[in-house]
Chains A and B, each alone.
Chain A
Amino acid sequence: DAGITQSPRHKVTETGTPVTLRCHQTENHRYMYWYRQDPGHGLRLIHYSYGVKDTDKGEVSDGYSVSRSKTEDFLLTLESATSSQTSVYFCATSPGLATNEQFFGPGTRLTVL
């Protein structure tokens, strides 16, 4: 569990403000993902990265951008937060070898007022 951390763990912000969430891993995993979790919707993929500076969109990418300048860090930015982006955000990593097993961070609870 200690290999993947997220910051902040909780955040309250106002509509229209930019927000950046950070995921940090010490596992040297190649793949990193951002999900949002909402009741009744399970885990929905926002963006993912398959290497440094290589990212792609998931199914719910509108209003979000990402960056990965180092193997260990994957940043998720809400360019202008809206109330519909109130959610719990999970970062996950995967070694990128023969396994697809995902290892999740502890989550960030974001509230947009």
Chain B
Amino acid sequence: GENVEQHPSTLSVQEGDSAVIKCTYSDSASNYFPWYKQELGKRPQLIIDIRSNVGEKKDQRIAVTLNKTAKHFSLHITETQPEDSAVYFCAASRQGGSYIPTFGRGTSLIVHP
């Protein structure tokens, strides 16, 4: 089965800095890579995803990059703000509703004002 490793487990940055969270996966057949954000006491919510036919995807201050050869993908947050403080989860699976994502263990991002 799929195995997803996520690093770092905790990331502390100053407001305005960039933050990068990295994940590796093991199943070369995986082609769907979502990122979820979970604010304190809230439910996880999808913030961005990437499919294996693209190498990078951006949405305002967040971007995700994918390197299929190396089997790793990363979340980049630029110009961090205190409201970016949350736990971020990466996941990997084959695309299609019958496939269940395997989640990384999460990264706690703390943005200091």
Task: Please report whether the interface of chain B is mostly helix, strand, loop or mixed according to DSSP.
Answer: loop
Interface-forming stretch among A14-22, A70-78, A90-98?
A90-98
Decide if B95 touches A42 in the complex (CB within 8 Å): no
Decide if B44 touches A90 in the complex (CB within 8 Å): yes
Q: Least Cβ distance of B50 to chain A in Å?
A: 12
Interface string of B73-86 (1 = CB under 8 A from A): 00000000000000
Decide if A100 touches B45 in the complex (CB within 8 Å): no
**Does A43 lie at the interface of the complex (its beta carbon under 8 Å from any beta carbon of B)?**
yes
Decide if B97 touches A102 in the complex (CB within 8 Å): no
Decide if B97 touches A42 in the complex (CB within 8 Å): no
The 8 Å CB contact of A100, one of B44, B93, B104, is: B93
The number of residues on chain B lying at the interface, defined by a beta carbon within 8 Å of a beta carbon of chain A, is 24
Task: Please report whether the interface of chain A is mostly helix, strand, loop or mixed according to DSSP.
Answer: loop
Decide if B103 touches A43 in the complex (CB within 8 Å): yes
Q: Least Cβ distance of B30 to chain A in Å?
A: 10
Decide if B45 touches A104 in the complex (CB within 8 Å): yes
Q: In this complex, what residue of A is CB-closest to B107?
A: A42
Decide if A106 touches B89 in the complex (CB within 8 Å): no
Q: Least Cβ distance of B110 to chain A in Å?
A: 15
Report the Cα distance A31→B42, complex, angstroms.
21
Decide if B105 touches A102 in the complex (CB within 8 Å): no
Decide if A31 touches B97 in the complex (CB within 8 Å): yes
The 8 Å CB contact of A94, one of B89, B97, B103, is: B97
CB contacts (< 8 Å) of A104 on chain B: these are: 43-45
Report the Cα distance A101→B49, complex, angstroms.
9
